[in-house]
Amino acid sequence: MKKGFLLLGLLMMIFLVGGVLAENQTCAKEGESFSQVYKEYPEKCCEGLTEWDSGMDTRVVQNGTCKETGMVAGNPVGTCIKCGDGICGLNENVCNCVGDCKSGCENRGDSCCKNGVCLETFYDGLPSACSNGNLPEFSGCDADCKPVVECKLTNETCVKAGEAYYPGTEKCCAGLESIFGSENPDGTCSCTEKDNNCGGAPICAPCGNGKCEGDYGEDKCNCTKDCKNVEVNTSFFQKIINWFRNLFG
């Protein structure tokens, strides 16, 4: 009976933490929508992005130049763009990001066009494959109105910080490392070897960034380079979850 109540408490706490984390996701990424009116969208763009009031902007691009239509729009939902990086990228054009999208150059989603001449991805001397075996992905037009391609992991997925995975099926995103095992309540370590027989799944964490982050599962056993002789930085909610884990363990 006691364990039943404790399990119920754990489930309620996880639900609460999930709600808090969702509320804390207050910024929109590149290409995502934001709004200060509709609560289903973040109120602002993430740092480094530009807030384009796309729902209010009725300008159009014609032959590489920006034209006013005189029309009126009133949709209070905008779009986040990465204006200022020198590349006329996703959702950018000469109307909303003239610094990146030079006059006369038009980004058509897979090609860059100027004065009626278009350079398309995979053609016109652009690479058809990447050294990592993936296809190049069109990311925008440069200052000379030539396509910019990036070799992204288009055929693979990666595991984000704090997420677990089964070995051999996924891999951690860039900047993250797989951590194994954990510190026991008595201070000893268990299951820290990569080929352990504990049955648990490894976790991807930013181990090596100089911060011992308990929210991502790091401790002195699985991330010694960050957590050796350092107090673990763990949020209040994560401490509660860890307390329940130790209780049932």
pLDDT at 18: 47
Digit-coded pLDDT (tens) for 78-113? 999 999 999 998 899 999 999 999 878 888 888 888
Amino acid at the residue 176: L
What confidence tens digit (pLDDT) does each residue in 123-160 have?
665 666 666 556 677 888 888 888 888 776 544 567 88
Beta bridge partners, 79, equal 33, 52
Cα gap 119→34, rounded to integer Å: 32
Rounded to the nearest integer, the mean pLDDT of the chain is 77
**For residue 2, what pLDDT is reported?**
47
Segment (H or E) for 10: helix 2-23
Of 24, 25, 78, 16, nearest to 51 by C-alpha is: 78
Q: What is the mean pLDDT of residues 172-197?
A: 78
Instruction: Find, among 57, 99, 82, 64, the residue nearest to 139 by Cα.
Output: 82
Question: In DSSP terms, which residues pair with 51 in a beta bridge?
Answer: 80
Strands (E) in the chain, as ranges, are 27-28, 33-34, 44-45, 50-52, 60-62, 65-67, 78-81, 105-107, 111-114, 117-120, 137-141, 147-150, 158-159, 171-172, 177-179, 182-183, 189-190, 203-205
